[in-house]
Structure 1
Amino acid sequence: MQSVQYSYEDFAKMPSSLFRLMGYDMLETPRNRQQKIMMQVYRALCLGSHCVCLGFMIFRMLEMKTINSVSLIMRYATLVTYVVNSDTKYGTLLQRGAIQSLNNKLAAMYPKTTLDRIYYRVNDHFWSRALSSMIMFYVGSSIMVVVGPIFTSLWSYFFHEQFSYMHCYPYFIFDPEKHSVWIYLGIYALEWLHSTQMVISNIAADTWLIFFQVQISMHFRAMIKSIEDYQPSWENDVADRHFLSKIVDKHDYLVNLQKDLNSIFGGSLLLSLLSTASVLCTVSVYTLIQGLTLEGVTYVIFISTSVVQMYLVCYHGQQVLDLSAFISHAVYNHNFHNASLSYKKFLLIIIIRSQKPVELNSMGYLSISLETFKQLMSVIYRAITMLRQMIQ
């Protein structure tokens, strides 16, 4: 009995669902009027809260009166770098038309029949349990950073009989002796929506990128497999050359799809990697300063998931780089000995064309691969060591 083969819509469910958590429907799913209004209101609340919090953060930094310790400086540095990272990725995802166009092209290419899906091994490319768990864990750890202060306040209330009115971000100053508890609740609501905007923008952008890259890689693997499986012969020369022409056309189309992907995400990919590296540096140093508190533990978890997130983007960039190179190996290794001379000349053309690697890159300057991840982690480690020594 054949297992159920996933559809393209099943693949797209993960990234589109993530983005809807902040009220943004990337694929514009059909909804009734009431649902659309509710989504738009929620979207406005998230964006509005983000703008308000961003305004307060800039005001506090210009004021400088309340930033009076090394710990607070590092906390502000962490917030600034994370805001830059998240807003960069959010700006990328505002290219809705380009993303929808790429999504439609990949949906049209997706194998339609069960036998084709088995041949493409679509289930092997589906979101793994480990990857889905990592995404949920990232969202959960980010939520813990936000709800950690209120848990600490409740702990203080139950064990010390005093509610400490802690909240997540230092740019809102709350004095329980002067301000109403409703102001505290309002601050926390603003911080929650602000965090939702940043966290979902951050993870959803990379999820869309990984989703598209997995689809392109899946087609490259199927193309390599079809070349390796093909058995040409002199008697079928016309059919053989027709097969190769389809391979060439598909290769060109996949190269263009990768260019579309790079044009959407490449412009902000370099800035995203640099800002993510900055976030990791500042969060790590801040955690070292704070020590092993509830906030420190949640930040350690957040750092771990951020490193994995960066690794996954580089890993899938490495995958498409390797697969594009494997095309020439597949052509060389398949059984072409009984083919016609014209067929063999076509093979040379494919080998020459595949010498130029297809890659995930940042505006043509930086190839995103495991080597990039290795170099970036090395730089982050040296930066953390230097910052720690400067503070000490």
Structure 2
Amino acid sequence: MSDSTIEQAKREIDESLVLNAFCMRRIGLSFKKPESIAKVFVLWYKKDVFSELLNELAGIWPMPPLDEEAQIIKNKSLDALRITHRWYFFMNVSGVWFYNLTPIGLYFFSLLMGDENAKIGFVWVSWYPFDKHQPIAHVAVYLFEIFAGQTCVWIMVGTDLLFSAMASHISLLLRLLKRRLESIGATEGFNEDQYEEILANIKLHQRLITYCNDLENAFSLSNFVNIMLSSVNICCVVFVIVLLEPLVAVSNKLFLGSALIQIGMLCWYADDIFYANADVATASYNSGWYRTNPRCRRALLFLIQRAQKPIAFTAMGFTNITLVTYSAILTRSYSYFALLYTMYSEN
């Protein structure tokens, strides 16, 4: 790629990460040269890794001229990613502000109901080493809890949007690779350009494997935490929603929706890459390899064997993350909730 083409590819990638960049700037992070001290050590520690991954992605990004079908695949992938990011961003930001404003809303509701002893509460149920009910301390604690809750949301949304965008782009490139492989054996006989095309596809596949492995190393710990805690998290939120009043439960319902979308988005994109890579092997076999010369067949055989080895995101190597994982998480969440609800009802 020329420098101008790479710059255009970077602009397209940046457009797909606009909400992620917005969240990252809220906590003092950027993939460009930093202008301030980062507030989150873990993300800051991986910042250079993510920046390098984005630069590598620009080098293999599908740029015009593309045929009509390839352009449609690219547009659909980017549109789906954009819609998913907007919904996820809205759910998290609206959810945290429902939490932040609930104490004020309950205070005015109590005043309307004639409660003269109504007081503004706190965002979270937490302990402090001082009397947080004193006027000045009350205001300071309330503002601190708003800041802490919003910062946690920026961190969570920023990392989740970054992972989903990168995973979506890998899946897009694998689908475009599959399409190119399906037309390799369209012509019979020896063709040097045909062999060079196969080599280019093999090199692209190897780069995608390396890219995916780097992404797995960067996010493996956070994916492990998400997978391990999601069942308990979803169970507890549903349990609280069932027991609280509808007015208070609005924020919890938004939090539940956010938790379901978060783990669902993780499993969806991981599953998409898992099967997109398997389709590369199928496309290589269905490419009309029998019309090519022995040299091309050996190259295609190598590609088939490598594509048959799964590309998968894992939870610290304990399990592959797919939609089957999402189904198992929901099943466990319901089991935990049923157990807690039964024990609570009996008491």
Whichever residue aligns with residue 99 of structure 2, its letter is: V
Residue 206 (structure 2) pairs with residue 255 (structure 1): no
Residue 176 (structure 2) pairs with residue 222 (structure 1): yes
Residue 52 (structure 2) pairs with residue 101 (structure 1): yes
Q: Which residue of the partner structure matches residue 111 of structure 1?
A: 62
Q: What is the TM-score of this pair, normalised by structure 2?
A: 0.86
CA distance in 2, matches of 1:279, 1:194: 19
Q: Is the 8 A contact 1:12 1:211 kept in 2?
A: yes
1:378 Cα deviation from its structure 2 partner: 0.8
Q: 1:341 to 1:12 in 2, by over 3 A?
A: same
Q: Return the match for 1:16 from 21, 26, 44.
A: 21
Q: Which residue of the partner structure matches residue 4 of structure 2?
A: none
Q: Which residue of the partner structure matches residue 246 of structure 2?
A: 293
Range with bigger deviation, 252-261 or 347-356: 347-356
Q: Is the 8 A contact 1:92 1:268 kept in 2?
A: no
Q: Is the 8 A contact 1:111 1:117 kept in 2?
A: no
CA distance in 1, matches of 2:311, 2:295: 26
CA distance in 1, matches of 2:214, 2:25: 24
Q: Return the match for 2:144 from 172, 184, 190.
A: 190
Residue 199 (structure 2) pairs with residue 245 (structure 1): yes
Residue 362 of structure 1 aligns to a residue whose secondary structure is coil
CA distance in 2, matches of 1:158, 1:105: 59
CA distance in 1, matches of 2:125, 2:21: 32
CA distance in 2, matches of 1:207, 1:322: 21
Q: Is the 8 A contact 1:317 1:368 kept in 2?
A: yes
CA distance in 2, matches of 1:270, 1:195: 22
Residue 366 of structure 1 aligns to a residue whose secondary structure is coil
Q: Which residue of the partner structure matches residue 120 of structure 2?
A: 165
Residue 236 (structure 2) pairs with residue 282 (structure 1): yes
Deviations 1:171-200 (A, max 9, x none): 257989x722x3322121101111012222
Whichever residue aligns with residue 282 of structure 2, its letter is: H
Q: Which residue of the partner structure matches residue 80 of structure 1?
A: none
Correspondence list, 1:41-190, <5 A: 91=42, 94-113=45-64, 115=66, 119-120=70-71, 121-126=73-78, 127-160=81-114, 162=116, 163-171=118-126, 179-180=134-135, 182-190=136-144
CA distance in 2, matches of 1:236, 1:157: 85
Q: Is the 8 A contact 1:232 1:339 kept in 2?
A: no
Whichever residue aligns with residue 153 of structure 2, its letter is: V
In the alignment of these two chains, the number of paired residues is 332
Residue 7 of structure 1 aligns to a residue whose secondary structure is helix
Q: Return the match for 2:224 from 260, 270, 276.
A: 270
1:158 Cα deviation from its structure 2 partner: 4.2
**Structure 1 alignment gaps of length 5 or more:** 31-35, 48-89
Bigger RCO (CA 8 Å, 6+ sep)? 1
Deviations 1:216-235 (A, max 9, x none): 11110111011113345455
CA distance in 2, matches of 1:122, 1:94: 32
Q: What is the TM-score of this pair, normalised by structure 1?
A: 0.77
1:159 Cα deviation from its structure 2 partner: 4.3
1:324 Cα deviation from its structure 2 partner: 0.6
Whichever residue aligns with residue 243 of structure 1, its letter is: E
Runs of 4 or more off by more than 6 Å in structure 1?
173-176
Whichever residue aligns with residue 124 of structure 2, its letter is: Y
Residue 257 (structure 2) pairs with residue 304 (structure 1): yes
Residue 31 (structure 2) pairs with residue 27 (structure 1): yes
CA distance in 2, matches of 1:315, 1:107: 23
Q: Report the aligned-residue RMSD.
A: 2.7
Deviations 1:75-134 (A, max 9, x none): xxxxxxxxxxxxxxx835641121111121112222343537973533212234354123
